[in-house]
Amino acid sequence: MTTIPDNVFAETVTEVEHYTDRLFRFRLTRPASFRFRSGEFVMIGLPPQNDGDKIVYRAYSIASPSWDDTIEFYSIKVPDGPLTEHLQKIKEGDTVLMRKKPTGTLVLDALLPGKTLWMISTGTGFAPFASLIRDPEAYEKFDQVIVTHTCREKAELAYSINTVTATKDDPLVGEFTADRLHLVTTTTREDSPLTGRITTLMDDGSLYNLFGRDGLKRDQDRVMICGSMAMLNDVKDRLEAMGFVEGSNSAPGEFVVERAFVD
């Protein structure tokens, strides 16, 4: 018998889906007492093999919305990664540990009111947006929700494409998303209908042109960014050059940032 600390939930895996040799998603049962805001992250780990073994935790954005009765995560598989080398082998019925306290800045409360919500992601940085686009509150607060997802190759876009399609068919949020939720997918190392880094598409205006716009406006656009550190910094620099102010839970602003954790 191994000991599970008091500050973690031990939850059961209900579903696992592998997309590529680098990416997969999984679902866990949701403890009745677990509350979080869509877009937040939590620390997850695996039960220790032997009593006394140290549990390795990593931060994972919750990819399911706050109303869902199970909890979804989207993960990279890092070769020899202390957690993901084991996590990638989980099967239905296995146990995953989840610390009880969620947190994070990619939440609707950290943004000032606006008209259009842009969510910019690369790689597994799409995960918190998979949660937010399924939350009716996003559509109560914004007229339009535009999510961008950039990956090296087309196969890495499967999760965002599937999630957006399922969201549009969802009985709870589908009706809000018609004509209001838009997904822009781009690849950088394989040909696809839209190629290039998101920063390039911002600089040459082609991202905005897709929506009949010529840029971002501080009085109506709000931006959330999640992905690699280099991408975050480059998008943040562009927003700050346009005068956008970063927000937080205590002081809402015009954009918020979170890095995609496990890499």
CA dihedral over 161, 186, 138, 67, signed as positive or negative: positive
Query: Which residue, 98 or 262, has its beta carbon nearer to ligand A2P?
Result: 262
Closest separation between CB of residue 129 and ligand A2P, Å? 15
Query: Which residue, 35 or 189, has its beta carbon nearer to ligand A2P?
Result: 189
Query: Which residue, 105 or 124, has its beta carbon nearer to ligand A2P?
Result: 124
Closest separation between CB of residue 188 and ligand A2P, Å? 3
Amino acid at 208: Y
Closest separation between CB of residue 78 and ligand A2P, Å? 12
* Residue 188 contacts ligand A2P per CB under 6 A: yes
Distance CA(11)–CA(6), nearest Å, equals 13
- Residues in a beta bridge with 10: 97
Query: Which residue, 115 or 189, has its beta carbon nearer to ligand A2P?
Result: 189
Do residues 132 and 238 make contact, with C-beta atoms less than 8 angstroms apart?
A: no
Do residues 114 and 221 make contact, with C-beta atoms less than 8 angstroms apart?
A: yes
Token duo for residue 48: 């220790």
Total of chain residues touching ligand A2P, rule CB under 6 A: 14
* Residue 228 contacts ligand A2P per CB under 6 A: yes
Among 122, 131, 148, 163, binds ligand A2P (CB under 6 A): 122
* Residue 230 contacts ligand A2P per CB under 6 A: yes
Closest separation between CB of residue 253 and ligand A2P, Å? 21
Fill in the DSSP letter of residue 56.
P
Q: In angstroms, how far is CA 119 from the centroid of its own chain? A: 9
Query: Which residue, 38 or 122, has its beta carbon nearer to ligand A2P?
Result: 122
Among 8, 96, 151, 181, binds ligand A2P (CB under 6 A): 151
Closest separation between CB of residue 207 and ligand A2P, Å? 12
Work out the burial of residue 228: count CB atoms within 10 Å of its CB; fewer than 13 is exposed, 13-18 middle, 19 or more buried. Answer: middle
Distance of CA 152 to CAs 36, 134, 156, 187, 225, Å? 31, 25, 7, 5, 18
CA dihedral over 252, 139, 146, 130, signed as positive or negative: positive
Ranges within 76-105 binding ligand A2P (CB under 6 A): none
Ranges within 189-208 binding ligand A2P (CB under 6 A): 189, 197-199
Closest separation between CB of residue 120 and ligand A2P, Å? 9
How long is the chain?
263
Token duo for residue 173: 């949020």
Query: Which residues of this protein are in contact with ligand A2P, per CB under 6 A?
Result: 122-123, 150-152, 188-189, 197-199, 228, 230-231, 234
